């Protein structure tokens, strides 16, 4: 198939590009390289350097690629930035998504896969834990609101234009190629431990998350190329506290470094986990990577990156 992957030079989507190419598909990537990195990009993919927010740039890509499937991962991902600049967050995550959906409908794209976020849509998961797709949506940040809006527009274009719309609600994704920054706590800890620096935990460290490895996320993106409609959670259903996460990584690094604590940040959840039974029931997907194994892979990648960068 002809597949257009937005944000294909980024952490998650670059792995998806690799998998699509390995499966024999023809892959084009649209990325403005603001956070994506050229070294992540598979040389067999065709890169269109452009921005999803610009109508003319997106139109040109769609007219040349004529994608049968769009896999949309380009986004503004920083929750804190969304709090500071909600208009910018909405421009990228809402208007950018509408721009892509409009051209997908115009070019009669068959399927549109949208990278959503179970990590922000369900909020504190007060009514159902772990949260299934039936749980109330209770985002508490502009970033969460923008992902909810993206799903709503996807639903509209599915009904109005016949797109096969799929929204993948990710838990906290980690793995090789992830950089430090928002949602990259595992990489942040790895980098600090390798440098012998003291990392900071915001809050008391008892907040819990559902950590899913990027390899399992890729497997789900392969599943939904042909099957599935609507929203699917992509998580493990199990939780790990930030304190426990640091302890695991410190043991891997054979380090005695301690953490320092700082006040909790606005917009940060205390607990979140996803029930992915629907993905198993309808698509026979389940997470296969054990957390300890995934953490070792990520730590080894960060270690290799540090060696390369210090040469």
* Closest listed residue to residue 179, CA positions, set 44, 72, 34: 34
Question: What pLDDT, on the 0 to 100 scale, is given for residue 215?
Answer: 98
Question: What torsion do the CA atoms of 197, 203, 207, 212 make, to the nearest 10 degrees?
Answer: -40
Residue 24 has pLDDT above 90, yes or no: yes
Which pLDDT tens digit goes with each residue over 28-79? 999 999 999 999 999 999 999 999 999 999 999 999 999 999 999 999 998 8
Query: 49 has which bridge partners?
Result: 31
Q: Residue 268's pLDDT band (boundaries 50, 70, 90)? A: confident
Q: How far apart are the first and last CA of the chain?
A: 41
Alpha helices per DSSP H over the chain: 11-22, 55-65, 79-84, 86-90, 96-106, 118-121, 142-161, 185-195, 214-223, 242-253, 277-283, 291-309
Better pLDDT: 237 or 184 = 237
Residues involved in catalysis: 143
Prior bond to 130 cis, omega within 30? yes
Query: 167 has which bridge partners?
Result: 114, 231
Q: Token pair 């790990």 is at which residue?
A: 240
Which pLDDT tens digit goes with each residue over 104-148? 999 999 999 999 999 899 988 888 899 999 999 999 899 999 999
Residue 306 has pLDDT above 90, yes or no: no
Question: What pLDDT, on the 0 to 100 scale, is given for residue 299?
Answer: 96
Question: What pLDDT, on the 0 to 100 scale, is given for residue 307?
Answer: 83
- Kindly report the average pLDDT of the chain as a whole number: 94
Question: What pLDDT, on the 0 to 100 scale, is given for residue 181?
Answer: 56
Which pLDDT tens digit goes with each residue over 185-212? 999 999 999 999 999 999 999 999 999 9
Q: What are the two backbone dihedrals, phi and then psi, of residue 142, each rounded to the nearest 5 degrees? A: -55, -35
């Amino acid at each position: 198939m002809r597949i257009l992957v937005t944000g294909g030079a980024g952490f998650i989507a670059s792995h998806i590009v690799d998998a699509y190419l390995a499966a024999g598909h023809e892959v084009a990537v649209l990325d403005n390289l603001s956070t994506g990195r050229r070294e992540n990009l598979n040389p067999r993919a065709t890169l269109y350097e452009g921005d999803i927010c610009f109508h003319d740039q997106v139109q040109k890509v769609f007219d040349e690629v004529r994608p049968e499937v769009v896999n949309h991962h380009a986004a503004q991902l920083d929750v804190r930035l969304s709090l500071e600049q909600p208009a910018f967050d909405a421009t990228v995550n809402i208007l950018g998504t509408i721009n892509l959906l409009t051209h997908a409908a115009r070019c009669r794209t068959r399927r549109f896969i949208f990278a959503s976020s179970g990590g922000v849509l369900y909020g504190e998961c007060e009514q159902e834990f772990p949260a299934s797709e039936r749980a109330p949506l209770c985002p508490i940040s502009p970033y969460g609101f923008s992902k909810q809006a993206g799903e709503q527009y996807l639903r509209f274009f599915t009904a109005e234009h016949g797109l096969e719309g799929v929204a993948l609600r990710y838990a906290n994704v980690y793995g090789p190629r992830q950089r430090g920054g928002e949602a990259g706590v595992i990489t942040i800890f790895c980098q600090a431990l390798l440098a012998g620096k003291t990392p900071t935990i915001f809050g008391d460290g008892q907040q819990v998350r559902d950590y899913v490895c990027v390899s399992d996320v890729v497997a789900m993106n392969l599943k939904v190329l042909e099957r599935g409609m609507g929203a699917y959670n992509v998580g493990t259903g199990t939780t790990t506290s930030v304190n426990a996460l640091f302890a695991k990584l410190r043991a891997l690094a054979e380090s005695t470094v301690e953490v320092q604590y700082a006040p909790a940040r606005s917009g940060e959840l205390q607990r979140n986990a996803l029930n992915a039974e629907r993905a198993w029931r309808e698509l026979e997907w389940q997470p296969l990577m054990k957390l300890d194994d995934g953490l070792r892979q990520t730590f080894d990648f960060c270690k290799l990156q540090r060696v390369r960068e210090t040469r």
